[in-house]
Structure 1
Amino acid sequence: IKRGGQVYYVFNRIRDINEKKIKLQTMMPDIRIALTHGRMDGKEIEKVMKDFLDKKYDVLLTTTIIESGMDISNVNTLIVEDSHRFGLAQLYQIRGRVGRSWQKAYAYFFYPDRRVLKLAAFQRLKTLTEHTDLGSGYKIAMRDLEIRGAGELLGARQHGHINSVGFDLYCQIVKEEVDKLKGLTVEEDINIQIELPVSAYIPKNFIRSENDRIKLYKSLGSIDSEAEAENIVSGLEKRYGNIPEVVTNLVNIAKIKCLSKKAEIERVIYLRSRGIVLRKVQLSRYKIEPLEDKYPMLSYVDKNREVLIKTGDEKIDAELIIKILNDIISLALN
C-alpha cells in the first residue's frame, strides 16, 4: 500500500472469510478492507468491485473468483494464504492478476512449514518461482502435467499409466514406438548395472508419503547430469532438512549411473577379491595411463577392458568413483 498500489488478499475459505477480515482489520485499523466471494449476490459483488476500482478500498479480501479476469491496473500486490492448497495452473492464473500495467508487481504465496508440505505441493510452489518470465505458461502447464500425472494419450479415461511410470519415461516410450512405425532407427538405451555394497534407499522416517518417495526414486533415476542431482538434493534439504546417509548414497549411485552412461561403461560392480570394477571401458591403455598416474589405486586390465579401483578394507568412496568417471569422460572427449 505504501508503494502506492492496492492489494488482492486471496483467502479461499468462505466459511472463515469474515473472521479473517476482522483479524486483518484489527491488525491494520487504518487500512480500508473490502470483501467479496462467490456466494455473494452478483450486484453486491459488482458494487464492491466498482468501489475497489474507484480506490475506496486498499485491500480486497477475496476468494479465487479473481482468477476469472478481474484486471485492475492499480493492484500491484498479491497475497495468497495457504497457497499449497491450490493447483499449479490456478496459482499461475491468480498470479497473472497483478503486474498488468507499468507498475512493478509483487506476489506472495504463503504456506505452512515446508516439513508438513507434501512433495507435490512443494513442487508446485517451486515451479512458480522458477518460471516468472513472460510466456512461462506453456512450461508451467507441462510441469503441472508431470506433477499431477495425466490421462491416457490415446483414450477417453482421464487416468492411465503415465503416473505409474513417470511422464518423461511414458513420452520416451511413445516416441520410440512412433519412430519405429516411421521406420527410423531407434538407439537402444544402455542398461547400466551398478552393484556397490552400500545401503541406498529413502527411509519412511525421512519422507513419509509413499507417492513422494516413488516420485523421488523416479527423479533420481532419470537425471542427465550431476547438476540435476544437486538440484534435487537442494530441494530435499529445503523441504526435509538434513539428508540421511542412505539417501546421499542413493544420490551418488544416481550420479554414477548417469556418468557411466555418458562414458559408455556397462557395469560398476564391487568384487571383494579385487575392488571396484568399471567394465567395458571404451578407452585404450594409452588413454587410461594419465589416470593411473593420478590415482595410485587405479589400474587398467586390457583383456576385459576394465578399470580396477582397489579399495582394500576401506569404505566405498562414491565421490572418488564419480571423479574417476568424470576423468574418463573428459579423456574420451579429447
Structure 2
Amino acid sequence: EGGDRLNVPLYRIDQLEPYRTAGDGDAPPPRLHRLGAPTWRRQRDKTRAAIRAMAAELLDLYARRQLAHGYAFPPDTPWQRELESAFLYEDTPDQRRASDEVKRDMERARPMDRLLVGDVGYGKTEVAVRAAFKAVQAGKQVAVLVPTTILAEQHGRTFRERLADYPVRIEVLSRFRSAKEAGPIVQRLTGGEVDVVIGTHRLLSADVTFKDLGLLIVDEEHRFGVRHKERLKALKLSVDVLTLTATPIPRTLHLSLAGLRDLTLLETAPKDRSPVLTFVEPWDDALLEEAMARELDRGGQVYFVHNRIETIDTIAARVETLAPRARFAVAHGQMRESDLEAVMGRFVRGEVDILVSTMIVESGLDVPNANTMIVDRADRLGLAQLYQLRGRVGRSHRRAFCYLLVPDLVDDQAEERLQVLEHHTDLGSGYRIALRDLELRGAGNLLGGEQSGHVQAVGFDMYLRWLEETVRGLKSGEGGRGEREEFAPPDVTLDAPAHLPDEYVADDDTKLDFYRRLARAEQPGEIQAVRDELRDRFGPLPADAERLLLVAELRALGARAGLETVLIKGDEARLTFRRDAAPRLAGLQVALEAVQFEADVRRAVPLSLRLRRLGGESIGPGLVRALTAVLRDHQRN
C-alpha cells in the first residue's frame, strides 16, 4: 500500500540490505510486505529453513567425501614438469596457484571436488590439461564433459596439440561422430584403450562405461540438466572432479562456501593481452566498412552480432554490401542444430570471414583469429551480455576492437551501461562493475534452481548474509541457527552528531560500506581496522567520525557486557543492563574508579547506573576503557 515509514539509526544500518537479484529482466518484482505484518517473518523463516537444508546437504556431501576413499595420485613426474614448462605463455600467479591446488588435491586419498572460476581465456583449460596428463600417467582414464559440440571439438584440438609429444590416446565423442564412428570409441573406452575422452552429455549415457576412470573435468556444469547432474553427483563420491566455469561468482559467496566447496579464482589476465578498444558509435556505413576491411586485411575474422532473428538476414545483406570480398555466414538459435554447428565449425576453422549472428556466440567460442566485434543495437543488451560478447575478441596478442552501435537517442540506463564498457577497457578494471549482474547469475548457477526462488524473494545480499550465518552455525555445531550466544548490541545515544561528514568522505557508496562494517563489528580489532583505513584514505578523523567509532566500540563491548542502553550527555552517562544479564558490580566499580568515574545505582533490577566524570579522559573513551577492563577480568576468571 506504500506510505509507511521507518527511521533507522545509523548504527543499525546493518539491518538494511539493498535488494538485488540476477537482472534477467523476466523475473517479477518482489512482493512488498507491510510493516508489522507477519508475512515478512514467514518469508524469512522459510528462506532460512531452505538455506539450512542446502548447507546441511552440502556439509553432508563434504563429510562423506572426506571419508570416501579415492585414489591418491603419485607426485609430479619429469614428464609433467616438461609439459608444464612447454606452455607457450607465462603462467599468471593465479594459474600457478590453481595448478598446484588441483595437483595437491589429486595427490590426496580423498576424492577432489574443486571449482575453478575464471574469466574467458584466463587459462582454465591449461589447468585442466595438466590435471588430465597427471591422471593419465598414473594409468587412469579422464573424461572431459562439455555443454556443446563445438566446445568438444575445440577442447579436443587443444588437448591434442598440448599432448602431441606424449603417448596419450585422445578421442572426442559428440554429434559430429556418426553412430558407426562412436561405437568403436565406446568399446575402446570400456577396454581401457582410450586415455582421455572429451564429449557432450553423450558421455553420461548408460552405454558409456570406463575401465578405470580417475578424473572427471566438467565445463560449465550449470548448463547440464537435472538428470545429468544427479549422475555427476554419484560420480563425485568416487572420482576426482574438477569443474570449470567462466561465470564469476561473488567473492562473498566464495567465502561463505569456503568450507563446503573447494574454490579457486583466476582473476589475473595473461601477460601479453592488450585491452579491447571499445567505441560507442551510431551506425555509419563508412566506419563499418573501414573496421571490417582493417580486420580482413590483417587476415583476421569479424563477429557481427544482431540479436533479432526476424531481421538478421536483412542486416546480413546490408553488411555484405560493405565487405563484398568477404566470406559470410549467418547463425542463430532457430536454425537446425546440425546446420548451426556446421556454421560455427566453419568459423572456428577460419573458412568464414564474417559471422553475422545473434547472442548465441555469447559464451564458449574460442577463435583467437577473430579480433573485431561489432554489436548492433547494443543499447538493448545488458551489461553482462555486452561484457561476455566483448570477451570473445582479444584472445591473442593482437589488438582487438569492439564497436557498440547505438541510435542517436538512448535511455539513461543504457547510456550508463555503455559508458562503463567504453571506459573500463582495461583487463580486470571495472571487471567488478561489469560483473555485478553476471555474478548474481553465477551465484544462481552455483546455488541451484530451488534456492533461486528464495534469493528472488529476499534479495541476494540478505540471502548471502543468512547463508554465512548458517554455515558458521552448522560448523560450530549450533544446528545452523547462526545466532550468537551473546546479547544484542545496546542502543547508544550521544548528545552530539556521530557520522562521517560529506567533506570527509564524499562518496555515498563508500560511506555506506563503512557504516555497514561498523554496524556489524563485534570485536574492537574490527573497529580499529576501520579507524586505520579511514585515517589512511581520508586523513585525520574529524570529531563527528571519532564519535561514530565510539558508538561502534560501545555497542561491541556493551553486547558482551549485557548492556541494553547507553546514554551519554556532557560529563554524565546512564547505563541500563538487560534483565537477564548478571553484571559483577564489584569489578565494575573498580574499573570505573580507575578512570575517575563516580557511579550511582539508580535501580537494582534490571541494574541501572548513573556515572559522573570527576577527572581524567572524557566520558566516552573512559567508558570504553572501563568496559574493556571489566570484560578482560571476566575472561580471566
Relative to the length of structure 1, the TM-score reads 0.50
Q: Which has the larger radius of gyration?
A: 2
Relative to the length of structure 2, the TM-score reads 0.29
